[in-house]
């Protein structure tokens, strides 16, 4: 818990990660408008995919930063010496990442709705649940891989290569559920995808929690 507080505090003091994530995810949404003919039926169809591409890539930026400070300033050694389990460090970092990515996603969403002319207000609760579940899975996998990639020679390059193929199933479920929500479907129709997302989250969180100790040990 203290760890989450520390991460949030240092972020709110500098605001560097969140602001760059936010600008990036807005840019992705804007760029896709040029890639597809703006306002065309084509762009409307691709809207759920575009939303999730924006969230995924901006998420990677945030996850990349997650351990950079810890390693560069030697904080990780301090954390490891501190009298709590490695699992606690994992959950602290994961929660921090979850909060960062969620904030960026929530801020991107209104802009996205404006650009794509969505009347999403009625599906909003469903969409928020999908976003939360997906981001939870992203943070679990991302926190683990971020701790790995920060220690490799290529650093930022490595995270997407490790992260993207692993999260494909989560992404697929999220895009499908989102497409259904945009079509005006209710809770019952997306409950299958939601359950699938929850199951993935459970698997990835427990696996990442179990293996995190092996990554950070000295």
Partner 1 sequence: MLTDSKSQRVENVLGLLLFLGMLMTLYNVFIYAPTEKSMGDVQRIFYFHVPSAFVAFLGFLVCAGYSVAFLIKRNHRYDRVAYVSAEIGVLFSTIVLITGMIWARPIWQTWWTWDPRLTTMFILWFLYIAYLMLRNFTGEDERGARFAAVFAIIASADVPIVYMSIRWWGDRMMHPKPVLMGDEDSGLAPEMLYTFLFALAVFLILYFYLMMLRLRQERTAEILNSMKKNLALNEE
Per CB under 8 A, residues contacting partner 1 are 141, 144-145, 148, 151-154, 158, 161-162, 164-166, 168-169, 172-173, 176, 192-193, 196, 200, 203-204, 207-208, 211, 214-215, 217
* Smallest separation (angstroms) from partner 1 to the CB of 14: 28
Tokens of 193: 């995808």
Q: How many angstroms separate the CA atoms of 43 and 48, rounded?
A: 10
Is 127 or 174 the residue whose CB approaches partner 1 more closely?
A: 174
Closest CA to 66 of 15, 162, 142: 142
Is 114 or 210 the residue whose CB approaches partner 1 more closely?
A: 210
**What radius of gyration do the chain's Cα atoms show?**
18
Is 11 or 201 the residue whose CB approaches partner 1 more closely?
A: 201
| Alpha helices, H only, 67-157 | 68-72, 75-81, 86-115, 124-149
* Smallest separation (angstroms) from partner 1 to the CB of 146: 12
Is 26 or 150 the residue whose CB approaches partner 1 more closely?
A: 150
* Distinct helix (H) and strand (E) counts, the chain: 9, 0
C-alpha 153 chain-centroid distance: 24
* Smallest separation (angstroms) from partner 1 to the CB of 211: 4
* Smallest separation (angstroms) from partner 1 to the CB of 13: 31
Is 29 or 179 the residue whose CB approaches partner 1 more closely?
A: 179
* Smallest separation (angstroms) from partner 1 to the CB of 208: 7
Q: How many angstroms separate the CA atoms of 45 and 58, rounded?
A: 22
């Amino acid at each position: 818990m203290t760890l989450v507080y520390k991460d949030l505090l240092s972020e709110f003091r500098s605001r560097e990660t969140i602001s760059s994530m936010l600008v990036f995810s807005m840019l992705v949404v804007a760029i896709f408008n040029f890639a597809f003919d703006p306002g065309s039926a084509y762009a409307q169809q691709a809207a759920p995919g575009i939303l999730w591409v924006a969230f995924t890539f901006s998420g990677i930026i945030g996850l990349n930063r997650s351990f950079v400070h810890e390693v560069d300033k030697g904080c990780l050694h301090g954390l490891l010496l501190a009298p709590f389990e490695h699992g606690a460090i994992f959950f602290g970092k994961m929660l921090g990442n979850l909060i960062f990515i969620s904030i960026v996603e929530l801020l991107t969403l209104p802009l996205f709705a404006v650009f794509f002319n969505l009347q999403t207000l009625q599906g909003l609760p469903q969409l928020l649940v999908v976003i939360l579940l997906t981001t939870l899975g992203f943070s679990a996998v991302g926190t683990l891989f971020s701790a790995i990639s920060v220690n490799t020679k290529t650093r930022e390059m490595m995270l997407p290569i490790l992260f993207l193929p692993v999260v494909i199933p989560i992404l697929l479920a999220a895009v499908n559920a989102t497409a259904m929500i945009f079509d005006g479907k209710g809770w019952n129709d997306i409950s299958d995808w939601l359950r699938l997302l929850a199951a993935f989250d459970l698997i990835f969180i427990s696996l990442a929690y179990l293996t995190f100790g092996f990554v950070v040990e000295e």
